[in-house]
Amino acid sequence: MKLTLIGNGIMAQSLARGLIKNHEVEIIGRDNDKLKAIQEKIPQITIKVLEDNEDITGKNILFCVKPYALQSVSARLSGNANILLSILAGTKLETLKKQIKAQHYIRTMPNVAASVQNSMTTITGDNEAKMVAMEIFSSIGQVIWVNTEDQLDIATAVAGSGPAYLALIAEALADGAVKAGLERHLSYQLVQGLFSGTASLLKHSHPAIIKDSVMSPGGTTAAGYAKLEECGVRDAMIKAIEEAHKKATELGKK
């Protein structure tokens, strides 16, 4: 299937890297120099500068611009796309339908792990396009279909923004090891293995069970865990999701 990505930012590039393994990918953007630089990194794609009257008739569009750019970019699109798959955070289907013409509309929220075909993507929208959307995004990782846009906004706060939160934790763990006296390269190697192994455990066990299996009475894990609770790490993570969801909701009202 040929997919046309409109937008040339980090997320569009991450999607392109994953999608090229199973799809023909075209990227349309406003900056020709940036498009050429992307093509040098991902030679399998084709590139095109966005025209003032860009015909999208019959195309399968992945709309990858920033939410604030929706109106300015959509004003330059003409014709009726086959399917519009939007990754715009908080931007409602109703808003997309007013701006861009298509046979079917889908909202999605992949994450940057799409570049290594390991995205956790949430999808909602027209049921008629459900199977196509699921097939496209399952080629770059795991997919979940949700029934409401509010559920997708919550998922955006978790899986869309989540890599940044986990990266912060990973960096902090490595910094802690360095502070204790371990070399930086060894610290990062340990953290990489830790995240990979824990991800495998999470496929089979509840987080609480994993935690309890590691925490021996009076042991090192219990001591460290108590400090995390004392510093409010659990509360901070919950509030991070709440704030990200709130922001997604606010974007949808603009």
Q: Beta strand pairing status for 119-125 and 2-6?
A: unpaired
Torsion-angle region of 27 (φ positive above 0: left; ψ -120 to 50: alpha; else: beta): beta
Structure tokens at 96: 């997309």
**How many Å apart are CA 184 and CA 186, to the nearest integer?**
5
Residue 234 burial (10 A CB sphere; 0-12, 13-18, 19+) = exposed
- The pLDDT, as a whole number, for residue 115 is 87
Flag whether 210 is marked binding. Answer: no
Residue pointed to by tokens 């195309």? 59
8 phi/psi in degrees, rounded to 5: -135, 30
Report CA Rg, the chain. Answer: 21
Flag whether 60 is marked binding. Answer: no
Give strand ranges (E) for the chain: 2-6, 24-29, 46-49, 54-55, 60-63, 77-78, 81-86, 102-109, 119-125, 141-145
Task: State which residues of the chain have pLDDT below 70.
Answer: 254
**How many Å apart are CA 72 and CA 83, to the nearest integer?**
20
Flag whether 58 is marked binding. Answer: no
pLDDT tens-digit series, residues 149-204: 999 999 999 999 999 999 999 999 999 999 999 999 999 999 999 999 999 999 99
- The pLDDT, as a whole number, for residue 30 is 92
Flag whether 118 is marked binding. Answer: no
The amino acid present at 203, given as its one-letter code, is K
Flag whether 9 is marked binding. Answer: yes
Q: How far is CA 109 from CA 24, 67, 143, 146, 150, in A?
A: 21, 13, 10, 11, 12
Task: Show the CA angle centred on residue 184, arms to residues 183 and 185, nearest 5°.
Answer: 95
Q: How far is CA 21 from CA 16, 34, 134, 210, in A?
A: 9, 22, 16, 35
**How many Å apart are CA 84 and CA 69, to the nearest integer?**
16
CB atoms within 10 A of CB 84: 30
Flag whether 131 is marked binding. Answer: no
Residues 6+ apart with CB under 8 A from 24: 1, 2, 3
- The pLDDT, as a whole number, for residue 206 is 97
Task: Show the CA angle centred on residue 122, arms to residues 4 and 168, nearest 5°.
Answer: 100
Flag whether 53 is marked binding. Answer: yes
Q: Does the predicted TM-score (pTM) go above 0.85?
A: yes
